[in-house]
């Protein structure tokens, strides 16, 4: 049974979708005004694992991730660069897609762009106005927070008397600063604007997500996610304006991932303490190592970034790679080993049990490494059959459908003769016949096969 921590109820709840097996998942996407940093990636990777694990559990996921291509930050960026908003945001939208593909994030079903849904936003604002939750002031339209009783249910931030009827035009603002926020902003010189029934203007940031989520997932859907910084004001405002329009809750489960930190503070572009994926790969790290590092902690725990921590994660990933290689070349016995079957079923049970507990990835990986250790031992004694090997492969595929870091296709293809030589060498070593083992290693080397002995078994490379 899958349980997820719902920020709204502040507890783990059994996950039951509205229309099983379908799951509607809305994940707040990037604001495309610069390259994303690896803090953003942490949240997008959490959402990727959530999506993959829902599929693992047999659900059919429809994921929507918006592209915020109009807001305060994109307008400022385009103006500073002296190019059109569309040209400016296109550049970073493309970079975003490259970065998420590099770290193995599965594509969502929909990536709606805000500028292509202005009509949906206008209709939604009209409904909010008709229901009496919004008012016009100087060509802009504001949401009246005082009219919405449950305001603050998600974040715990409630308006104080002195805040009532004060207004804010910025898209982003501080916690505690509860004010009437702009749904629609009157046109200003130097800003893109649209001609609508409210006059010329452009949408506020929060209304974008309400309009695009409802367009693709309906007025109430299953899961809405983001980073914890989205809880207030962004998600609080989404909840208020959506319910004001439809009378229904927008989403049933609200999930938020914790921040990636640098030197104990949130990695954020405004603070200047960021690394992009591009900067990290330029140092020689691989995107899959970054993926592994960012996934290895539980998503609701803060994670501190350092190059040391990244290198450590790369080391753990290398152990998985070595295991895959050894598995490929393990010499086989003729009889199936019940101990292997036992390891597989323990791993399956433990992995799923951990992920069922609010996606406890660190625990799930612990289970997986225990499995690797036990199987390595059995393999090094040659106690594994061809059947066992293929059952292990199926398990790896299943685990990898969630974690997405194992390179299952990276094995060295070996001829029958090469396999035989490796097997003979292993047997020679086991018998303590080091001279034969060395001779066999040389014979393999002449064929371009390099054998390294590691504590986790042998590693095989083919020279090109």
Least spacing, CB of residue 399 vs ligand AMP, in Å: 25
> Of the two residues 255 and 392, which places its CB atom closer to ligand AMP in the complex?
255
Least spacing, CB of residue 199 vs Zn ion, in Å: 25
Helix (H) or strand (E) holding 201: strand 199-203
> Of the two residues 70 and 260, which places its CB atom closer to ligand AMP in the complex?
260
Site size for ligand AMP (CB under 6 A): 16
Q: Which long-range contacts (CB under 8 A, 24 or more apart) does 276-285 make?
A: 276/35, 276/36, 276/37, 276/38, 276/99, 277/35, 277/36, 277/38, 277/41, 277/99, 277/102, 277/103, 278/35, 278/99, 280/38, 280/310, 281/102, 283/307, 285/310, 285/314
Of the candidate spans 27-35, 306-314, 336-344, 381-389, the one that interacts with ligand AMP by CB under 6 A turns out to be 27-35
> Of the two residues 244 and 365, which places its CB atom closer to Zn ion in the complex?
244
Is the CB of residue 393 less than 8 Å from the CB of residue 340? no
Binder of residue 40, out of Zn ion, ligand AMP, none (CB less than 5 to 8 A by kind): ligand AMP
Helix (H) or strand (E) holding 254: strand 251-257
What whole-number distance in Å separates Cα of residue 209 and Cα of residue 204? Answer: 10
> Of the two residues 42 and 298, which places its CB atom closer to Zn ion in the complex?
42
Is 28 one of the binding residues for Zn ion (CB under 5 A)? yes
Query: With the C-alpha atoms ordered 173, 179, 184, 185, is the resulting torsion angle positive or negative?
Result: negative
* Residue 166 phi, psi dihedral angles, 5° rounding: -95, 150
Of the candidate spans 39-47, 178-186, 336-344, 363-371, the one that interacts with ligand AMP by CB under 6 A turns out to be 39-47
Is 30 one of the binding residues for ligand AMP (CB under 6 A)? yes
Least spacing, CB of residue 209 vs Zn ion, in Å: 3
What whole-number distance in Å separates Cα of residue 378 and Cα of residue 456? Answer: 11
Of the candidate spans 25-33, 77-85, 365-373, 451-459, the one that interacts with Zn ion by CB under 5 A turns out to be 25-33
> Of the two residues 28 and 327, which places its CB atom closer to Zn ion in the complex?
28
Site for Zn ion in 198-257 (CB under 5 A): 209
Least spacing, CB of residue 259 vs Zn ion, in Å: 17
Kindly report the length of the chain: 464
Tell me: cis bond preceding 339? Omega within 30 of 0 counts: no
What whole-number distance in Å separates Cα of residue 214 and Cα of residue 197? Answer: 21
260-262 and 303-305 as β-strands: parallel, antiparallel, unpaired?
A: parallel
C-alpha distances (whole Å) from 75 to each of 235, 254, 269, 432 are 22, 29, 16, 71
> Of the two residues 178 and 255, which places its CB atom closer to ligand AMP in the complex?
255
Least spacing, CB of residue 317 vs Zn ion, in Å: 32
Site for ligand AMP in 306-345 (CB under 6 A): none
Is 70 one of the binding residues for Zn ion (CB under 5 A)? no
Is the CB of residue 190 less than 8 Å from the CB of residue 131? no
CA 150 to chain centre: 30
Least spacing, CB of residue 120 vs ligand AMP, in Å: 20
Q: Please select the residue that binds ligand AMP; options are 31, 74, 115, 329, rule is CB under 6 A.
A: 31
**Helix, coil or strand: residue 32:** coil
Least spacing, CB of residue 150 vs ligand AMP, in Å: 23
Is 172 one of the binding residues for ligand AMP (CB under 6 A)? no
167-168 and 11-14 as β-strands: parallel, antiparallel, unpaired?
A: unpaired
Would you give the binding string for ligand AMP spanning residues 215-244, x where CB under 6 A is met?
A: -----------xx-xx--------------
> Of the two residues 273 and 360, which places its CB atom closer to ligand AMP in the complex?
273
Binder of residue 209, out of Zn ion, ligand AMP, none (CB less than 5 to 8 A by kind): Zn ion
Is 266 one of the binding residues for ligand AMP (CB under 6 A)? yes
Of the candidate spans 151-159, 191-199, 266-274, 308-316, the one that interacts with ligand AMP by CB under 6 A turns out to be 266-274
Is 206 one of the binding residues for ligand AMP (CB under 6 A)? no
Q: Please select the residue that binds ligand AMP; options are 2, 5, 24, 42, rule is CB under 6 A.
A: 42
The candidate with the shortest Cα–Cα distance to 70, out of 43, 93, 51, is 93
The candidate with the shortest Cα–Cα distance to 457, out of 384, 387, 350, is 384
> Of the two residues 65 and 375, which places its CB atom closer to ligand AMP in the complex?
65
Is 203 one of the binding residues for ligand AMP (CB under 6 A)? no
Q: Which residue is nearest to ligand AMP, using beta carbons?
A: 227
* Residue 320 phi, psi dihedral angles, 5° rounding: -65, -45
Query: Both ends of the chain: CA-CA distance in Å?
Result: 48
**DSSP string over 288-339:** HHHHHHHHSS-TTS-EEE-HHHHHHHHHHHHHHHHHHHHHHH---BSS--HH
By CB under 6 A, name the binding residues for ligand AMP: 28, 30-31, 39-40, 42-43, 226-227, 229-230, 259-260, 266-268
By CB under 5 A, name the binding residues for Zn ion: 28, 209
């Amino acid at each position: 049974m899958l349980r997820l921590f719902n920020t709204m109820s502040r507890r783990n709840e059994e996950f039951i979708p509205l229309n099983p097996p379908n799951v509607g998942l809305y994940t707040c996407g990037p604001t495309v005004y610069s390259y994303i940093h690896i803090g953003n990636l942490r949240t997008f990777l959490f959402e990727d694992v959530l999506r993959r694990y829902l599929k693992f559990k047999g659900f059919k996921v429809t994921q929507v991730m918006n592209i915020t291509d109009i807001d305060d930050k994109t307008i400022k960026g385009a103006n500073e660069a002296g190019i059109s908003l569309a040209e400016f945001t296109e550049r970073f939208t493309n970079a975003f897609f490259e970065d998420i593909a590099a770290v193995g994030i599965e594509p969502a079903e929909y990536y709606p762009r805000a500028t292509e849904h202005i009509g949906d936003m206008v209709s939604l604002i009209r409904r909010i106005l008709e229901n009496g939750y919004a008012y016009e002031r100087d060509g802009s339209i504001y949401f009246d927070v005082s009219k919405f009783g449950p305001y603050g249910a998600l974040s715990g931030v409630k308006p104080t008397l002195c805040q009532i009827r004060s207004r804010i035009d910025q898209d982003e603002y501080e916690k505690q600063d509860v004010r009437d926020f702009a749904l629609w902003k009157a046109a200003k010189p130097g800003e893109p604007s649209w001609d609508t029934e409210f006059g010329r203007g452009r949408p506020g940031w929060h209304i974008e997500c309400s309009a695009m989520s409802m367009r693709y997932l309906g007025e109430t859907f299953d899961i809405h996610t983001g980073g914890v910084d989205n809880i207030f004001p962004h998600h609080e405002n989404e909840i208020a304006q959506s319910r004001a329009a439809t009378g229904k809750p927008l989403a049933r489960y609200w999930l938020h991932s914790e921040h990636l930190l640098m030197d104990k503070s949130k990695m954020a572009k405004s603070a200047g303490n960021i690394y992009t994926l591009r900067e990290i790969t330029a140092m020689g790290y691989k995107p899959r190592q970054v993926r592994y590092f960012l996934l290895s902690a539980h998503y609701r725990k803060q994670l501190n970034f350092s190059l040391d921590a990244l290198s450590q994660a790369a080391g753990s990933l290398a152990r998985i790679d070595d295991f895959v290689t050894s598995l490929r070349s393990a010499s086989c016995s003729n009889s199936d080993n019940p101990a292997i079957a036992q390891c597989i079923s323990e791993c399956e049970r433990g992995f799923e049990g951990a992920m069922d507990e609010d996606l406890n990835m660190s625990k799930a990986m612990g289970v997986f490494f225990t499995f690797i250790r036990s199987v390595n031992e059995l393999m090094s004694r040659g106690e594994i059959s061809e059947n066992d090997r293929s059952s292990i492969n199926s398990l790896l595929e299943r685990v990898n459908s969630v974690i997405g870091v194992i390179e299952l296709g990276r094995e060295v293809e070996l001829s029958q003769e090469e396999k035989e030589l490796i097997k003979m060498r292993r047997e020679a070593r086991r018998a303590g016949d080091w001279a034969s083992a060395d001779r066999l290693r040389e014979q393999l080397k002449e064929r371009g096969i390099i054998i390294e002995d590691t504590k986790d078994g042998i590693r095989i490379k083919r020279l090109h």
